[in-house]
């Protein structure tokens, strides 16, 4: 092929490459899934929501979610997790989920409304209202 005939192909390849790069950048800038508008993730809560009442989305983890240390409020506190963080929740397990120590409900998406409180050791936890 002559040099003149290769030039349009190079231009097309460059344009397609640039378009692919632009699409991949849009996808990567979207980042990890976030909570719905008006909701917080576990990570958001741990970033400083003490004293607030919040709606939090995450996944139910029972007693084995990876939170550091023991439960901050009662022995029956359970864990709520997201992709990077874990927080204890003090209060009843959401309706329809199997309470600890059973692991049948682990990983179930959960949305709760709770008060963010600080334990005596400084850790944040969520307190659910009584039913």
Pair 77, 27 in one domain = no
Pair 20, 54 in one domain = no
Pair 108, 50 in one domain = yes
Alpha-carbon span 29 to 19, nearest angstrom:
15
Pair 103, 66 in one domain = yes
Pair 77, 118 in one domain = yes
Q: Any bridge partners for residue 58, and if so which? A: 110
Identify the band that residue 9 occupies on the pLDDT scale cut at 50, 70 and 90: very low
Pair 19, 75 in one domain = no
> Any idea what the CATH number is for the domain that residue 44 is in?
2.40.50.140
Pair 67, 89 in one domain = yes
Domain that holds residue 54: 40-127
Model pLDDT, residue 40: 86
Which of 109, 53, 107, 64 is closest to 88 using CA atoms?
Answer: 64
Structural domains in the chain (count): 2
Whole-model pTM?
Answer: 0.70
Pair 45, 3 in one domain = no
| Integer CA distances (angstroms), 41 to 57, 93, 94, 120, 127, in order | 5, 18, 17, 23, 15
Pair 73, 121 in one domain = yes
What would the pLDDT profile of 74-87 be if each residue is shown by its tens digit?
999 999 999 999 99
What would the pLDDT profile of 22-71 be if each residue is shown by its tens digit?
333 323 333 334 555 568 899 889 987 788 899 999 999 999 999 999 99
Can you give the length of the chain in residues? 131
């Amino acid at each position: 092929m002559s040099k003149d005939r290769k030039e349009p192909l190079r231009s097309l390849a460059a344009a397609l490459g640039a378009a692919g790069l632009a699409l991949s950048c849009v996808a990567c800038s979207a980042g990890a899934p976030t909570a719905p508008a008006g909701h917080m993730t576990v990570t958001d809560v741990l970033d400083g929501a003490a004293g607030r009442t919040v709606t939090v989305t995450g996944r139910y983890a029972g007693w084995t979610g990876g939170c550091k240390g023991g439960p901050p409020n009662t022995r029956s506190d359970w864990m709520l997790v997201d992709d990077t963080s874990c927080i204890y929740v003090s209060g009843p397990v959401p309706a329809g989920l199997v309470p600890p120590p059973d692991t049948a409900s682990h990983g179930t998406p959960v949305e709760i409304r709770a008060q963010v409180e600080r334990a005596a050791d400084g850790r944040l936890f969520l307190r659910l209202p009584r039913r």
